[in-house]
Amino acid sequence: MLLEKTEGNLKKNSRRFVIGYDLSDSYAQISYCSLEAEEPETLATVTGTEQYNIPVVLCKRNGVNQWFYGKEALKFAEEGGGELVKNLLTRARTGELVNIDGDGFDPVALLTLFIRRSMSVLGLTASLDYLDGIMFTVDNLDKRMVEVFANVAANLHLKTDKIFFQSHMESFYYYTLYQPKELWTYEVLLCDYDNYRLKVYALNSNKKTTPVAMYIDIDEYEEMRRKDPEFPDGPDVEEKHRLDMKFLDIVREKCKGRMISCIYLIGDGYKEDWAVESLRYLCMGRRVFKGNNLYSKGACYGIKEKLGLSEEGRNYAFLGLDKLKANIGMKVLRKGLDSYFAVMDAGVNWFEAKKEYDVILEDGSDISIILTPLNGKEAKEIHMTLEGLPERPKRTTRLRIAIEMVSENQLSIKVKDMGFGELFPASEGEWKKIFDIA
Task: Show me where the domains of the chain are located.
Answer: 17-162, 171-318, 326-436
Please give the sequence-ordered ranges of beta strands (E in DSSP) within 155-197, or none if there are none.
Answer: 163-167, 187-193
> Rounded to an integer, what distance in angstroms lies between the CA atom of residue 304 and that of residue 34?
10
The CATH architecture assigned to 171-318 reads 2-Layer Sandwich (3.30)
Question: 430 exposed, middle or buried (CB, 10 Å; 0-12, 13-18, 19+)?
Answer: exposed
> Rounded to an integer, what distance in angstroms lies between the CA atom of residue 285 and that of residue 266?
20
Stated pTM of the model: 0.84
Kindly give the residue spans of alpha helices, DSSP state H, lying in 121-217. Answer: 143-156, 168-177
Those residues with Cβ within 8 angstroms of residue 202's Cβ, 6 or more apart along the chain or in another chain: 187, 188, 189, 216, 217, 218, 219, 254
User: What pLDDT shows up at residue 3?
Assistant: 39
CATH number of 17-162: 3.30.420.40
Those residues with Cβ within 8 angstroms of residue 157's Cβ, 6 or more apart along the chain or in another chain: none
Kindly give the residue spans of alpha helices, DSSP state H, lying in 68-158. Answer: 70-78, 88-94, 107-120, 143-156
User: What pLDDT shows up at residue 335?
Assistant: 75
Q: Work out the end-to-end distance of the chain between its first and last CA atoms, rounded to an integer number of angstroms.
A: 40
Those residues with Cβ within 8 angstroms of residue 313's Cβ, 6 or more apart along the chain or in another chain: 174, 177, 305
Question: 46 exposed, middle or buried (CB, 10 Å; 0-12, 13-18, 19+)?
Answer: exposed
Same fold, 17-162 and 171-318: yes
At 54, phi and psi to the nearest 5?
-105, 115
Assess contact for 59 and 83: CB atoms under 8 A: yes
At 256, phi and psi to the nearest 5?
-60, 120
Give the other-Cβ count within 10 Å of 367's Cβ.
18
User: What pLDDT shows up at residue 73?
Assistant: 96
User: What pLDDT shows up at residue 113?
Assistant: 97
User: What pLDDT shows up at residue 72?
Assistant: 95
Q: Which of the following CATH numbers is that of domain 326-436: 1.10.150, 1.10.8, 2.60.34, 3.30.70?
A: 2.60.34
- 283-to-177, 247, 262 alpha-carbon distances in Å: 22, 14, 9
pLDDT tens for each residue of the chain, 438 residues long: 343 333 444 444 468 999 999 999 999 999 999 988 889 999 988 877 778 999 999 999 998 889 999 999 999 999 998 999 999 999 999 999 999 988 899 999 999 999 999 999 887 788 889 999 999 999 988 888 989 999 999 999 998 999 999 999 999 999 999 999 999 999 999 999 999 999 999 999 988 887 888 999 999 999 999 988 877 777 889 999 999 999 999 999 999 999 999 999 999 999 888 999 999 999 999 999 998 999 999 999 999 999 988 878 888 988 887 888 889 999 888 877 888 999 998 888 888 899 999 999 988 899 999 998 887 778 899 999 999 999 999 989 999 999 999 888 899 999 999 999 888 889 989 999 999 887
